Amino acid sequence: MFSDTYFTLKEMTMATFRDKGSKFIGYVFPCYSVDEFKQKLQEYKNEYPDATHHCWAYRLNYDASIFAMNDDGEPNYTAGKPIFGQLVSAQLCNVAAVVIRYFGGTLLGVNGLIHAYKETTRLAIENAQIIQKQVFDLYAMEFDYTAMNEVMKTLKYHEIKLKDLNVQEKTSCIIFIPAMQVNVLVPKLEKIQTVKIDFIQKIQ
């Protein structure tokens, strides 16, 4: 079921985990695009250039419609998948995790690796502050001054935030519509005489 709210992290946090000499350093952080993630991943690779592996996963967009994971040389499904699984378990979106491993000389086996990457990510999330955010569609609206009363009454009724109100013969403003209200509110505004309303972007 669609919702216009989602859970993410307020800021980056980290945790460490050790098993049989191997050291795992986990980072979780808010992230809003693939390019942003690639930049952060490169920063961690630069910070830990001698690490054995830099494994990761992300869930982007308020509906987690963009996602990926990577084992970075570990056996298939032993790193990226358990990292990703912890993001899903915590119901986080617009978030990414990177777990850096220093090999300690003793093989952990498939189950040991899965546990280590899962636990490192879980501990990092446990240290984080989870916040709830709302998704808004940003619209530009223009209307004659004569429609001011009806427009403002409608916006107030739906508790809509606005900015850049420019009151002239042709009045304009920017409004923030909660995503779940768009299908109701936009047609209602368009029915008001002289109103012109255009979608700008989604804010999440």
Facing residues of 90 across strands? none
Q: What is the pLDDT of residue 3?
A: 72
Q: Which two tokens stand for residue 164?
A: 């850049």
**Domain identity same for 127 and 139:** no
Q: Which pair of tokens denotes residue 106?
A: 């003793």
One domain, residues 116 and 197:
no
Q: What is the pLDDT of residues 99-134, one digit of tens each?
A: 999 999 889 999 999 999 999 999 999 999 999 999
Q: How many domains are contained in the chain? A: 2
- Which of 132, 149, 183 is the last residue before a domain boundary? 132
- Are 114 and 172 found together in one domain? no
Q: Are residues 18 and 79 in the same domain?
A: yes
Q: Using CA atoms, how far apart are residues 23 and 105, in angstroms rounded to an integer?
A: 11
Final residue of a structural domain among 132, 153, 181: 132
Instruction: Supply the mean pLDDT for the chain.
Output: 96
In whole angstroms, give the CA distance from residue 132 to residue 149: 33
User: Domain boundary residue among 80, 114, 132?
Assistant: 132
Same domain for 97 and 142, yes or no, is no
What domain range includes position 179?
135-203
Q: Show the low-confidence residues of the chain (pLDDT under 70).
A: 1-2
Q: What is the C-alpha to C-alpha distance for residues 60 and 46, in angstroms, rounded to an integer?
A: 24
Question: What is d(CA 113, CA 77) in angstroms, rounded to the nearest whole number?
Answer: 10
Q: Is there a single domain that holds both residue 85 and residue 141?
A: no
Judge if 121 and 139 occupy the same domain: no
* pLDDT attached to residue 190: 96
| 142-163 pLDDT, tens digit each | 999 999 999 999 999 999 999 9
State if pTM tops 0.95. no
User: The tokens 């990414």 sit on which residue?
Assistant: 96
CATH number at residue 93: 3.30.230.30
Sign of the CA dihedral with 11 first, then 201, 33, and 43 last: negative
Residues 92 and 160 in one domain: no
% of the chain surpassing 70 pLDDT: 99
Same domain, 30 and 88: yes
Q: Are residues 159 and 186 in the same domain?
A: yes
Predicted confidence at residue 2, as pLDDT, reads: 55
Three-state secondary structure call for residue 165: strand
